[in-house]
């Protein structure tokens, strides 16, 4: 059975859905998106992801009043049902829509293009988590509005692929000697027995999983500081992990072949992994 997706109010088999070449998302990357994990056929934190989608729409000036969020919510659940998704992710993309000519100035009254589709994702096993992953440090040369979850991801794509070519899981990004985030994740650092993560700004994304994890750690009486973190503090950290919607806690044991702490996955990281895994299983 061919999977279905949702496009502009209707459901289509995936190979029959069409978008105009004049769509600003195709021509300019003029759009925003969200990625929602699906656990046991249930979307995880869908409401929080839709709230962040609204924020991205506001920040880009795409008229959210023209978008029926109730239909998007229903489409997510319908796709999970008809496609029999169990451990998948749901991708929602909204662009500014189609215009008659290609031009930088956009028509503020244009009808947005709304796409919802799903795909499987790789969930790391406990043994993989316990082994840990490698990362590298790269200069953060992305644009300075990384707080918008924009479809304009060329810099992120280049950074992630550069890390992959070096057999690294993630690129840890540094701007002005300060940690921002990973190419596709938020980053947590254990330094001087305190868990730290960069404070929110226009230079990094307010991750839904990041924010939940901070809340859960604090509920478990584990201190978390949202603050500036220097490159030197990253490299001298006791523990590091990356966090994203589909992989909430991914331990980093080396950066540029330099061992982080003991070079093995640490207690705080494993505690964070268990706290999040328990929450997901009970969700």
Beta bridge partners of 92: 34, 116
| Radius of gyration of the chain measured on its C-alpha atoms | 19
Known catalytic membership, residue 149: yes
Q: Which of 120, 152, 183 is the last residue of a domain?
A: 120
- What is the rounded distance in angstroms from the CA atom of residue 15 to the CA atom of residue 137? 39
| SS3 assignment, position 62 | coil
Low-confidence ranges of the chain (pLDDT < 70): 1, 109
Residues 133 and 256 in one domain: yes
- The per-residue DSSP string of 145-180 comes to -TTS-BS--HHHHHHHHHHHHTT-SEEEEEETTEEE
Question: CATH number, domain at 175?
Answer: 3.20.10.10
Pick the catalytic residue: 42, 145, 149, 199? 149
- Identify whether residues 189 and 215 lie together within a single domain: yes
- The predicted pLDDT at position 122 comes to 86
Domain count within the chain: 2
Residue 108: the pLDDT is: 73
Residues 142 and 232 in one domain: yes
pLDDT confidence of residue 1:
67
Contacts of 31 (CB under 8 A, 6+ apart): 24, 25, 62, 93, 94, 95, 96, 113, 150, 151
Domain limit, last residue, from 120, 139, 173: 120
Q: What is the pLDDT of residue 110?
A: 81
Q: Tell me which residue range forms the domain holding 100.
A: 4-120
Q: Looking at the structure, do residues 115 and 141 belong to the same domain, yes or no?
A: no
């Amino acid at each position: 059975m061919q999977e279905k997706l949702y496009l502009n109010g209707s459901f289509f088999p995936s190979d029959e859905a069409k978008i105009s070449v004049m769509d600003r998302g195709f021509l300019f990357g003029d759009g925003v998106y969200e990625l929602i994990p699906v656990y046991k056929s249930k979307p995880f934190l869908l409401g929080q992801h839709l709230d962040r989608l609204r924020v991205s729409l506001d920040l880009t000036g795409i008229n959210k009043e023209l978008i029926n969020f109730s239909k998007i919510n229903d489409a997510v659940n319908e796709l999970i049902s008809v496609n029999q998704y169990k451990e998948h992710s749901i991708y929602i993309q909204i662009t500014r829509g189609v215009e008659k000519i290609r031009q930088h100035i956009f028509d503020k009254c244009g009808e947005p293009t709304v796409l919802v589709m799903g795909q499987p994702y790789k969930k790391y096993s406990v043994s993989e988590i316990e082994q840990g992953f490698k990362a590298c440090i790269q200069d953060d040369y992305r644009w300075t509005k990384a707080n918008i979850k924009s479809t304009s991801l060329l810099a992120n794509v280049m950074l992630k692929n550069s890390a992959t070519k070096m057999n690294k899981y993630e690129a840890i990004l540094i701007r002005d000697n300060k940690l921002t985030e990973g190419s596709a994740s938020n980053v947590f650092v254990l330094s001087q027995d305190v868990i730290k993560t960069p404070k929110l700004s226009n230079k990094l994304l307010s991750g839904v999983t990041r924010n939940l994890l901070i809340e859960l750690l604090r509920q478990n009486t584990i201190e978390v500081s949202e603050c500036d973190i220097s490159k030197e503090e990253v490299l001298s950290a006791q523990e590091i992990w990356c966090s994203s919607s589909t992989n909430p806690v991914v331990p980093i044991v080396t950066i540029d072949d330099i061992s982080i702490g003991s070079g093995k996955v640490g207690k705080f990281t494993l505690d964070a992994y268990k706290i999040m895994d328990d929450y997901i299983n009970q969700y």
